[in-house]
Chains A and B, each alone.
Chain A
Amino acid sequence: MQLIHSGKIRDVYEDRGDILLVASDKVSVYDVVLPTPIPGKGKILTQLSLWWFRHLADVVPNHVISAEDVPPEWAGRAIRCQRLNMLPIECIARGYLAGLGLDSYRATGTISGVPLPSGLAEGSRLPEPVFTPSTKATIGHDEFMTLGDAGRELGAETANELQRITLEVYSRGAAIAAERGVIIADTKLEFGRAPDGALVLADELLTSDSSRFWAAEDWHPGRPQRYLDKQFVRDWSSTITGWDRKPPGPEVPAKIVEATRARYIEVYERITGNRWEE
């Protein structure tokens, strides 16, 4: 087994021709990974991702080979995956105005070239989810692409198919989560091609590391929304004086760690309807 990459939120290994994604317990705020892990986060998000892969398998094939055929020390937080040829764009679906989508809307009235009605506020629900692909930046930051850009890069047929699948995965997932009091404001998907050329959903799926989760009961358009999972960490970090929001981040107090862990579990239990068990 060969370590390919040790990242901010997970490690990636190559094993017997497969890829092993191993989620960590690391958490970040303001793009800075904090030195204190949230125990169990990697397992919770991995199990949530697997739940979504199973529930949305009829929409598109996915890269999961096994969650059991992994080294025992990583049990629960590792997934053995197909080795796919990855597509060089990020496929993003946005159902609400936040982040880069909000700033683009404020500046241009559009997101990724898709015109939106005037008068929407921060956190507003969009009339329909929009597909907002972006580059995967190697330097600097990601840039919005229009559907036309994606078509020029990958071919119109592939771009249209990515749009269709991305919006269907998001819409189905968001509807399931909404029934359980969770707003999935947006999400980022990654795709690869199998050896036969088929598009396959890769990476993780509809977790709080790949999506914005808000509590439905807390949703108030017109102001920044509160994250369902790591708001405790964000709130706590905003009270720290003397930290310039650059690495290294501060150690997180035990009570904040425990509260945050409880929220990750709450998200898992709300969405899946299953009780979280270690």
Chain B
Amino acid sequence: MATYDPYKLIDQVRELLQASGVDPVIVSEKDALVGAGELLRSMGVFPTVDPLDFHARGDRNSWQETDDRNAAAYKQAPP
């Protein structure tokens, strides 16, 4: 099964756009991630993250703390 990192794809698309003179801004990380996944799957590639990148990328705190932080962000700027 072919796989590719959707976060990497998003970074590469951003660089491609910048090289073309466009300055993209990610207004919704969710939409970007969903879109990257759809694009990969349309090419027969499944979106996954290499475990080493996965662990290196996300410096996670405990779930309660993360969820409380997400809640505070939601209160400040509801989607």
Contacting residues, chain B, for A209 (C-beta < 8 A) = 62-63
Among the listed B37, B65, B73, which residue makes an inter-chain contact with A30, where contact means beta carbons less than 8 Å apart?
B65
| Contact indicator B34/A9 (Cβ below 8 Å) | no
| Contact indicator A193/B51 (Cβ below 8 Å) | no
Shortest distance between the CB of A25 and any CB in chain B (Å): 13
Nearest CB in chain B to that of A197: its residue:
B1
Nearest CB in chain B to that of A136: its residue:
B58
| Contact indicator A7/B59 (Cβ below 8 Å) | yes
A88 and B60 CA atoms in complex are apart in Å by 14
A101 and B69 CA atoms in complex are apart in Å by 12
Nearest CB in chain A to that of B7: its residue:
A138
A84-101 at interface with B (beta carbon < 8 Å): 84-89, 98-101
The interface-forming segment of A50-58, A123-131, A140-148 is: A140-148
Contacting residues, chain A, for B33 (C-beta < 8 A) = 88-89, 135, 153
| Contact indicator A5/B71 (Cβ below 8 Å) | no
Contacting residues, chain A, for B62 (C-beta < 8 A) = 8-9, 28, 208-210
| Contact indicator B65/A31 (Cβ below 8 Å) | yes
Contacting residues, chain A, for B55 (C-beta < 8 A) = 4-5, 7, 12, 19
| Contact indicator A102/B71 (Cβ below 8 Å) | yes
A134 and B29 CA atoms in complex are apart in Å by 11
Nearest CB in chain B to that of A11: its residue:
B55
A165 adjacent to chain B (CB < 8 Å): no
Shortest distance between the CB of A169 and any CB in chain B (Å): 14
| Contact indicator B64/A227 (Cβ below 8 Å) | yes
Contacting residues, chain B, for A138 (C-beta < 8 A) = 7, 29, 57-58
| Contact indicator A99/B73 (Cβ below 8 Å) | no
| Contact indicator A155/B73 (Cβ below 8 Å) | no
| Contact indicator A4/B52 (Cβ below 8 Å) | yes
A75-90 at interface with B (beta carbon < 8 Å): 83-89
Where the two chains meet, the residues of B that have a C-beta atom closer than 8 Å to any C-beta of A are: 1, 3, 5-7, 28-30, 33-34, 36-38, 41, 46-52, 54-71, 73-75, 78-79
Where the two chains meet, the residues of A that have a C-beta atom closer than 8 Å to any C-beta of B are: 4-5, 7-9, 12, 14, 19, 28-31, 33, 83-89, 98-104, 107, 134-145, 149, 152-155, 186-188, 192-193, 197, 208-212, 227
